[in-house]
Amino acid sequence: MEMYHLSRRYMNRRVRIHDCYGRCYEGEIVGVDSNNVYLQMSGGVRTSGKAQISGWSGAGILTLSLFTLLAIALI
């Protein structure tokens, strides 16, 4: 539940997100629901690890499960 509230607090802001698999993502949080955070990937942004781009509301939006997130930081 902590990641849900943190994601809501950082809505529409640029963040760096680390997950439990050692991957790091950068972008803007554009949506949050009870299970996922939706990250708008911008041009020139580095994403380490393997990422699946979803079709939620357009190209370049990454769906990340809240249950796999370790840290969210403003950048």
Nearest to 11 by CA among 42, 41, 51, 39: 39
pLDDT at 53 over 60: no
Q: Where in the chain are the domains? A: 2-74
DSSP string, 6-20: HHHHTTTSEEEEEET
Is 2-74 a CATH 2.40.50.140 domain? Answer: no
Query: What is the percent of the chain with per-residue pLDDT over 70, rounded to a whole number?
Result: 77
pLDDT at 59 over 60: no
Q: What are the pLDDT digits (tens) for 12-41? A: 999 999 999 999 999 999 999 999 999 998
